[in-house]
Structure 1
Amino acid sequence: MLNVIQLLPDSIANQIAAGEVVQRPASVVKELLENSVDAKAKSVQVIIREAGRNLIQIVDDGVGMTETDARMSFERHATSKIRSSDDLFRIRTMGFRGEALASIAAVAQIEMRTRRAEDELGTLIRIEGSDIKAQESISCLPGTNLLIKNLFFNVPARRNFLKSNSVEMRHIIDEFQRVALAHPEVAFSLFHNDQEIYNLHAGKLSRRIIDMFGKSYREQLNYCEEQTPYVTVRGYIGKPESAKKARNEQFFFVNNRYIKHNYLHHAVIGAYEGMLPEGSHPFYVLFVDIDPSHIDINIHPTKTEIKFDDERSVYAIMMAAVRKAVGMYNLTPSLDFESDVNFLSGGRATANRPSVPEAKADVPRPITPSWASGDKPAADKPKNERVPLRTDSLDKAAGGSFDMPKKPSSNNWQALFKGIDESSDVKSTESVGDWLGPAKAVEPAPASEPVESEAVTLGSRANQLQDVSAPVVEDENIVQIQNRYLLATIKSGVLLIDQRRAYERILYDQFHAALTKHNGVSQQLLFPKTVTLAPVDFQLALDLRDDLTHLGFQFDELGQNTFVIRGVPGMTTGENEEELFANLLAQLRADTGRLKLDRAESMARSLARRASQRHITRLSPTERKALVDQLFASSNPSYTPTGESVTTVLSLDKIAGLFR
């Protein structure tokens, strides 16, 4: 019987290894940048053409290589980092397995020039598909200059699986950012099709972050550090108010190596508990310094996953470090013992403010029950009295005024309902009290000023005595709960609607129709807004210009990484235009590769979720009815585009069970 097992030729073995190491052009950029850092380079230049398909060039001023080392570097498992198995547990450099150059050479055309500073001549090597075409001595600058041409030229199937240039370029920028953040002491520059994207000077980590992400980060960076004998945590975290909807500016580095670690991410988020808006993600760049013997970095081909021998300790230290930074820099709300908490937030009155009669329009009212102070009910106050601002935090929390009704007598029970909930921003013609909250009693208007007023709906059992068999939801049956939910009676019981999710479903249908039918309505801005983006988002906006125009955005380039916005979708009026545009691009970038959706679907989802956030607000009865009608006219009233429930039914049996 003939033997059937044989050794693979090196060229085929290298191509198999390339399948793990070289997944896309960004993989090449990552490996070569790490080699330059290991070579003690002080300046690294990256030149890209056609998102790495045609050319990836890395130029550094590192130590360079001799002629023998230059030739050996393209052999499989050739490395200068490992001498024995014990060295695997003392690794502090980036590359160490010796597969990068051999794998890249198997699927590309390579030209390398390298020279040590003490040598007179350098070395030139040309390789195509693992075959050495030339090796000679030349005159060149100290350091290494690597050109990777025509990636996957001999593996057409792999080349066909590459995404569009914009997607591949975003992956390259991501890898570039990770290496540049890990090594702020090294100067980096990045060019794509002769256009400068980054030019980062050597300096401190804080300067590197600001140069990379923009000057707006200067105010939100807070230093974080915790030292223990086992591990040291250091870096920068962002303030809660600067958190973004997309999770794409969060970086962990272990011994200066970028990693992905959900367990440590959970520790950071836990330290922010109670301070982040729902669905928001904080910015952080955190470094973990630990003895290499306590970690295993050789568990994944890309070395982005890592294992600790004591993850719980690292978790606790990480959370403690972030919490310490949060408290040290006053990120958490603090009590001001100098202020008088008996005043509303509209005026920020202090204890030293002299007492002023309440009738004055510009003085905040004290939080004193009217039955104790003897003041007249809020409904009887003059019409020219100051109306609290919508932005008053205490008014938001209470849903209206803090005034309480007068203490009622048994002979005058109607007085109990006078002066409740003097709404700060809703007129009496459209006010219905929140469920579980005080309802507003409408005073009769003077004869000279006839005003149409609506009946008062109170949260009591008496109001449930309705004809629940009617299939149509009537205006008076829709109750709003804490500006977030709607309650309507139906034949089988009670219908509960999530207000924000309902708007998300409605807006999604409208945005998707605008993208597919190219009929989006644009609202022109009276004063155009300027927005500066991260380079990766700037490239994404250029690639998606047609789709963004179909949605209703109108924008033009205004310098490097800057757009001037002249119009926004008509369905997003009232939004902060700069934040809307920037957050949409950040969300789209985060969804790239994670969701298998077409472009229209992804854009409609992202924009609908972003725009729906502002609809957590008080609605008039007319608006409530319109919302319910639009929801049940949508393509899928029961679920959002991401599969979250919009409505739920509390049956009569379930309600009855609550009282047993």
Structure 2
Amino acid sequence: QAAAEGIECIIEGSEVVAQSPCVMQPGTVVSVKNLFYNIPARRNFLKGDHVELKHCIEEFQRVALAHPQIGFKMIHQDNDLFHFTPANVRQRIAAVLGGKANERLVPVEENTEIVDISGFVLKPEFAKKSRGDQYFFVNDRFIRSAYLNHAISAAFEGMIRPGLHPGYVLFLKVDPAAIDINIHPTKTEVKFEEEQSIYAVLRACVKHSLGQFNIMPLLDFERDSSMDPHYSLQGQTPKVPQIEVDADFNPFASGGYRPKQDLGSWSSLYVGLQAEEPGHSLEVESQEVTGTLFEEDAQESDQITVQIQNKFIVTTIKQGLIVVHQNFAHQRIIYERLLRTATLQEPASQQKLFAQHVELNALQALCAEQLEEALLSIGFDFELEQNTLALKAIPAGLSEDQAEKVVLAVLDDQMNDRPNEGFSSLDILARSLAAKMAIKSGQKLTVPEQRDLINELFACKEPDRLRRRCRTFIDRKSFSSGRCIADNAGRFCCANFIGLGRFRK
């Protein structure tokens, strides 16, 4: 750092080609070109440009999180993707995760003879289906450990729904002599000598932090929440109220007291009023109404529907009895509707009076830029400026209060589930958006809503399947063959379907 000039070193094929002094700012600049030029077998296994860029960004973020005291900058195609200035750990985590991550962090810290733990975990309400926001650092080295991840999940037990994963950025300081890093060629897996002790300390530490900062719900039946002081008054000393009394006040002084007047009974209000003469009354002739504009009998349908466990709808068709999964059926309806609007290039959108601003991190902003054409084709209208997404219109059927949550969830799905089976980005986007907009399992539907769902389902091109190995309904033939409807929580067998039906998991 004290040198007057820097050094430029050019390496090609593991050989130093040139090394000369140069003028530069303090720091290190690394430029990589034609990475696998002499390994054709490795080039054949490379994914698309966006997938390989995602892998580079992930590695860049890990190094930036491990060294918050150092500034980092990443440039891609002459565009600044990341520019991190030197900061503390909390500021660096908020810069990497983006958005309003600083409000979601819960500090964790514990020092023992075996391990020193520090860092942050995300609040339970921000748990995701993907594992993207999970970082373990042992002695400032990024690692993956399913065993330690299970300790975090055990600490969050009862606070997040099954299938969701908590986010965390934790730093562990362990004696290097008690670690074996030669487990995996990538050096991302380690073996601890006292693994069980570290598991117990980590689980207890995270659980203690969640309880210390009132994240974990408490059961106190004698506590009256209405008596709690306002959050703006917490920490302040209560003041004794001052009472002012006017000693010269006399209620019987002139003008200060008036006796109550006797208004009499209510019947005195009608004294002097005369009844109307019969000759002044008006008579209007009207015809007797024999029917209504829309006959109620015509609206009634012979179709019978029954909702079971607020999840399945039992109804009848020409072939017999069927059982419909309401969430999967609605996903199929929305999926085909989105593809139809995108194909016809006539998206049905809800224009917003004022643009809704959504804060994104750099990876989400890059994903939104790549999916701009697909998002516009299904009904979104937005402007992207740096890491802020200004929503001007949303697809029809999407409520405004869920727009921000759905957009962030769709972008996360796109970042973690890239098309790998020949599906286009529009198809993957439609599936992800349909899953977020569909009726959830556990939602009670009225009889007209049940009938509309059944009718819209059988108006689809492929009403029987949502995706591979996932059926939207089962018919009577499936009861004897043991076919089933797949669910997120498992598989529900219908071999013992009796009466209205009971699905055995």
What TM-score, normalized to structure 2? 0.71
Equivalences for residues 397-546 of structure 1 within 5 A = 474-475=302-303, 477-488=304-315, 495-515=322-342, 518-546=345-373
Partner of 1:434: none
Partner of 1:233: 117
Partner of 1:306: 190
Q: Is the 8 A contact 2:100 2:359 kept in 1?
A: no
Partner SS for 1:301: coil
Q: Is the 8 A contact 1:232 1:290 kept in 2?
A: yes
Alignment partners' CA distance in 1, 2:427 and 2:6? 53
Partner of 1:607: 433
Q: Is the 8 A contact 2:326 2:439 kept in 1?
A: no
2:149 equivalent among 265, 282, 292 = 265
Equivalences for residues 74-89 of structure 1 within 5 A = none
1:629 equivalent among 455, 459, 470 = 455
2:175 equivalent among 291, 314, 317 = 291
* 1:221 is the counterpart of 2:105: yes
User: Taking structure 1 as reference, are residues 199 and 628 closer, same or farther at Cα in structure 2, changes over 3 Å only?
Assistant: same
Alignment partners' CA distance in 1, 2:29 and 2:192? 36
Alignment partners' CA distance in 2, 1:596 and 1:310? 46
Partner of 2:211: 327
Partner of 1:598: 424
Q: Is the 8 A contact 2:312 2:326 kept in 1?
A: yes
User: Taking structure 1 as reference, are residues 589 and 142 closer, same or farther at Cα in structure 2, changes over 3 Å only?
Assistant: closer
Alignment partners' CA distance in 2, 1:620 and 1:176? 51
Alignment partners' CA distance in 2, 1:222 and 1:634? 46
Partner of 2:374: 547
Partner SS for 1:149: coil
Partner of 1:363: none
Q: Is the 8 A contact 1:212 1:534 kept in 2?
A: yes
Partner SS for 1:293: helix
Alignment partners' CA distance in 2, 1:127 and 1:159? 20
One-letter identity of the residue aligned with 1:630: E
Q: Deviations over 1:230-250 (max 9, x none)?
A: 333332111122223443212
Q: Is the 8 A contact 1:151 1:159 kept in 2?
A: no
One-letter identity of the residue aligned with 1:562: T
Alignment partners' CA distance in 1, 2:458 and 2:196? 49
Partner SS for 1:332: coil
Q: Which moved more, 1:594-603 or 1:564-573?
A: 594-603
Shift of 1:182: 1.5
Partner of 2:159: 275
Partner SS for 2:434: helix
1:249 equivalent among 133, 154, 158 = 133
Shift of 1:139: 6.5
- Structure 1 unpaired stretches of 5+: 1-60, 62-116, 341-347, 352-449, 456-472
Partner of 2:258: none
Q: Is the 8 A contact 2:334 2:438 kept in 1?
A: yes
1:201 equivalent among 77, 80, 85 = 85
Q: Is the 8 A contact 2:143 2:188 kept in 1?
A: yes
Shift of 1:555: 0.8
Shift of 1:147: 3.3
Report how many aligned residue pairs link the two structures.
416
1:128 equivalent among 2, 5, 12 = 12
Alignment partners' CA distance in 1, 2:126 and 2:203? 20
Partner of 1:182: 66
Alignment partners' CA distance in 2, 1:237 and 1:302? 26
Shift of 1:585: 0.7
Q: Deviations over 1:148-193 (max 9, x none)?
A: 3343445577557644443333222211111111122222222333
User: Taking structure 1 as reference, are residues 221 and 124 closer, same or farther at Cα in structure 2, changes over 3 Å only?
Assistant: closer
Q: Is the 8 A contact 2:419 2:425 kept in 1?
A: no
- Structure number with the bigger relative contact order (C-alpha 8 A, sep ≥ 6) is 2
Alignment partners' CA distance in 2, 1:229 and 1:494? 65
* 1:562 is the counterpart of 2:397: no
Alignment partners' CA distance in 1, 2:402 and 2:92? 28
Q: Is the 8 A contact 2:309 2:442 kept in 1?
A: no
Q: Is the 8 A contact 1:484 1:499 kept in 2?
A: yes
Q: Is the 8 A contact 1:605 1:641 kept in 2?
A: no
1:655 equivalent among 498, 501, 504 = 498
Partner of 1:366: none
One-letter identity of the residue aligned with 1:655: I
One-letter identity of the residue aligned with 1:250: Q
One-letter identity of the residue aligned with 1:647: F
Partner of 1:365: none
Partner SS for 1:226: strand
User: Taking structure 1 as reference, are residues 588 and 339 closer, same or farther at Cα in structure 2, changes over 3 Å only?
Assistant: same
Alignment partners' CA distance in 2, 1:166 and 1:149? 16
Partner of 1:580: 406
Shift of 1:222: 0.7
% identical equivalent positions:
38
Shift of 1:595: 6.8
Alignment partners' CA distance in 1, 2:136 and 2:443? 37
Shift of 1:639: 4.3
Alignment partners' CA distance in 1, 2:219 and 2:455? 45
One-letter identity of the residue aligned with 1:266: H
* 1:318 is the counterpart of 2:202: yes
Alignment partners' CA distance in 1, 2:147 and 2:159? 20
User: Taking structure 1 as reference, are residues 328 and 563 closer, same or farther at Cα in structure 2, changes over 3 Å only?
Assistant: same
Alignment partners' CA distance in 2, 1:186 and 1:131? 29
Alignment partners' CA distance in 2, 1:158 and 1:320? 44
User: Taking structure 1 as reference, are residues 273 and 489 closer, same or farther at Cα in structure 2, changes over 3 Å only?
Assistant: farther
Q: Is the 8 A contact 1:506 1:631 kept in 2?
A: yes
Q: Is the 8 A contact 1:245 1:583 kept in 2?
A: no
Q: Deviations over 1:530-587 (max 9, x none)?
A: 1111101101111111111112111112x32112111112242455222221211111
Shift of 1:588: 0.6
Alignment partners' CA distance in 2, 1:520 and 1:327? 47
Partner SS for 1:320: helix
Q: Which of structures 1 and 2 has the bigger CA Rg?
A: 2
Alignment partners' CA distance in 1, 2:8 and 2:401? 57
Partner of 2:96: 212
One-letter identity of the residue aligned with 2:53: M
User: Taking structure 1 as reference, are residues 138 and 544 closer, same or farther at Cα in structure 2, changes over 3 Å only?
Assistant: closer
Shift of 1:278: 4.9
One-letter identity of the residue aligned with 2:338: F
Partner of 2:235: none
One-letter identity of the residue aligned with 2:175: D
User: Taking structure 1 as reference, are residues 598 and 564 closer, same or farther at Cα in structure 2, changes over 3 Å only?
Assistant: same
